[in-house]
Amino acid sequence: MPSTTTAEQKAALRARLRAEMGELTPEARWRSDDALFARFLALPETAEAGTILLYHGMGAEPETARLLPVLWVAGKRVALPRCTGPGTMEARLAEEGRPLIRHRFGMLEPGEDAPRLEPEELDLILVPGLAFDRSGGRLGQGGGFYDRYLPRCTGRTAALCRGRFLLPEVPRAEHDRRVDLVVTEEAVFRPSKRAEPKGPAPRMSAAQQQLSPQPSLKWLPP
């Protein structure tokens, strides 16, 4: 039997993971998000970053829009990706009160009038993915947006990964980039260092308590 290629392995794994993600209940996703966000906000890399690139989580992905008001209160400049063409993106500033636009693919992104940030201006980039491994390996959706964008960035990269989607190993091609930090509900993995000890999620500050219950984000389109 011929061996499968990396592309075939990725395609099969994506199909399996998407099916598993569809089985998550809203309550399970919410509990997972609370723990993921608490650990992300407690990272020294988050505290030190002046400008952070988030992404708009869709479907069973972490609902990262909940992080926006907390990061604004903390004085961070927050950017979101804006799709500029097939497999290409740029970072645009997301500002409180400035409406976001829903792309035809479903994600929210800043409008054309939002200030554009250069890749080297980003101190911390939150990278989406279907699955990750402890060495920073990432399985994306297959669009190639971040594969093309990340080589231009000089900041740290981090991922929010639900524990059930932290795999022993993610299939990787030569061009695939690892992330610097993998955050799960129970631990933070830094591939170049030992993982931080498991334990309960850090306690959230008063400002971070805006995460639960969900804040009113009236500037988000329906």
pTM of the model: 0.84
The β-bridge partners of 167 are 133
Our CA dihedral for 157, 160, 164, 168, rounded to 10 degrees, sits at 10
Whether residue 182 contacts residue 129, with contact meaning beta carbons closer than 8 Å, is answered with no
Tell me which residue range forms the domain holding 34.
Answer: 6-132+139-187
Please give the structure tokens belonging to residue 97.
């009160």
Q: Express each pLDDT in 126-161 by its tens digit.
A: 999 999 999 999 998 878 899 999 999 999 999 999
Residue 83: inside a domain: yes
Specify if 207 maps to a domain: no
Q: Residue 30 falls within a domain, yes or no?
A: yes
- Does any domain span residue 200? no
pLDDT score, position 14: 92
| 204 assigned to some structural domain | no
Q: What is the CATH number of the domain that holds 151?
A: 3.40.50.10420
| Residue 209 domain-assigned (yes or no) | no
Tens place of pLDDT for every residue, the chain, 222 residues?
A: 345 798 899 999 999 999 999 999 999 999 999 999 999 999 999 999 999 999 998 888 999 999 999 999 999 999 999 999 888 999 999 998 888 888 887 788 998 999 999 999 999 999 999 999 999 999 988 788 999 999 999 999 999 999 999 999 999 887 888 999 999 999 999 987 644 545 555 655 544 545 544 444 444 444
Total of domains in the chain = 1
> Exposure string (b/e) for 84-111, b if CB count within 10 Å is 16 or more?
eeeeebbbbbbbeeeebeeeeeebbbbe
For residue 203, is it within any domain? no
Spatial distance between the Cα atoms of 152 and 143, rounded to a whole number of angstroms? 17
User: Sign (positive/negative) of CA torsion 199, 200, 201, 204?
Assistant: negative
